Amino acid sequence: MPQVLVLGAGKIGSLVAALLATKGEYHVHLADLTLDAPKRLIEELSLSTVTPCAVDVRRPDSLEDYVTSHRFDAVLSGLPYFHNPAVAELARTHHLHYFDLTEDVAVTERVKLISEGADRAFIPQCGLAPGFISIVTNDLIGHFDSIDHVKMRVGALPVHPSNALKYSLTWSTDGLLNEYGNACVGIEGGQEVRLQPLEGYETIELDGLLYEAFNTSGGLGTLADTYRGRVRTMNYKTLRYPGHCEKIQFLMNDLKLNEDRDTLKRILERAIPQTHQDVVLMYASVTGTRQGELFEETYVKKVYPRTMMGRLWSAIQVTTASSLCCVVDLVMASSPDYRGFVRQEDFLLQDVLDNRFGDCFRS
């Protein structure tokens, strides 16, 4: 039974631990700042193969001591992105497989450097976007002889929006502001380019409903690096209800709160409610040639909240945690085949869909 350490018992980490413990053959240590959240989860869901632990990742000695005193096969970080380089360093030192959910481009580059020459796999960006959408898009690209345009669009939205932003806080506020405020990567004219966040505005209609889409950071994952010179245009944009982008631009740019994200985080978390009544929208489109003719192929999917283990989990929790668990399961099943830096597009879509954790993407 593989031993895995899940860091962070928040929205995603809690479901990751529960899924691995109930649907897979894993013994999970679920770590948080105190024992409160891990113990509450274990008692509520009767998770006999989950061990609660209190680890303060802000103190390197705390995490080091816990890892040293146990024999783990992998560490999974559900922490805010800025903690991940230290976790990756620890994984390298202790010869552990490493997985995270980061959307941060600089953190991913740091993990890539740490992974050089490693005898274990280092796999950042294991969530939804980047993550599953990268696997889907890479699969679509493989259906073409040459590629013209690649579009990736993902959104996690309240089913019943009730505020001016038409949004609810369904995941990490730090991660959200990172996506809204950092430079974006894309491909234009076959070359990798930097794009401004909250720009590139467009509208898109899915199932008769109108959404807006705009540049956000990190969602492209490593695909731009993988396909530069082979694709004319590639970009990633976040989906929201119309009107959201204009208001976020006002907050972040006009009021200059992108320069004071701590204040903006407090404002949003005080004013914008959380919800489990959300929907995850996934859209990928590839245009190119096939046997000399121009084709377009798209992937469109909506995922809604699910009740599992007697608890309702939001759509963003379900999709993000499931994507991470699929990748972990595939790596642990063929551990010697994975080492060093591993990209999301190194995983086959069909393998993910066939995996025991991939049912939310099949139905």
Mean pLDDT score of the chain: 95
The stretches of 193-314 forming alpha helices (DSSP H) are 223-227, 244-249, 261-271
**Of residues 99 and 273, which shows the higher confidence score?**
99
* For the chain, domain boundaries: 3-128+318-362, 132-310
In this prediction, residue 335 carries a pLDDT of: 80
pLDDT band at 24 (very low <50, low <70, confident <90, very high): confident
Q: Which helix (H) or strand (E) holds 34?
A: none
Report the distance separating Cα 321 and Cα 16, nearest Å: 5
Helix (H, G, I), strand (E, B) or coil at 81: helix
When pLDDT is averaged across residues 297-314 and rounded to a whole number, the result is 96
132-310 and 3-128+318-362 share a CATH fold: no
Residues 3-128+318-362, CATH architecture: 3-Layer(aba) Sandwich (3.40)
Neighbour count for residue 211 (Cβ, 10 Å): 20
pLDDT band at 34 (very low <50, low <70, confident <90, very high): very high
CB within 8 Å of 99: residues ≥ 6 apart: 74, 75, 76, 77, 123, 124, 126, 324, 327, 328, 331
pLDDT digits (tens, 9 = 90+) for 214-233: 999 999 999 999 999 999 99
Report residue 57 CA to chain centroid gap: 20
Residues 132-310, CATH architecture: 2-Layer Sandwich (3.30)
Report the distance separating Cα 273 and Cα 252, nearest Å: 19
Q: Is 42 exposed, middle or buried (0-12, 13-18, 19+ CB in 10 A)?
A: buried
When pLDDT is averaged across residues 314-332 and rounded to a whole number, the result is 97
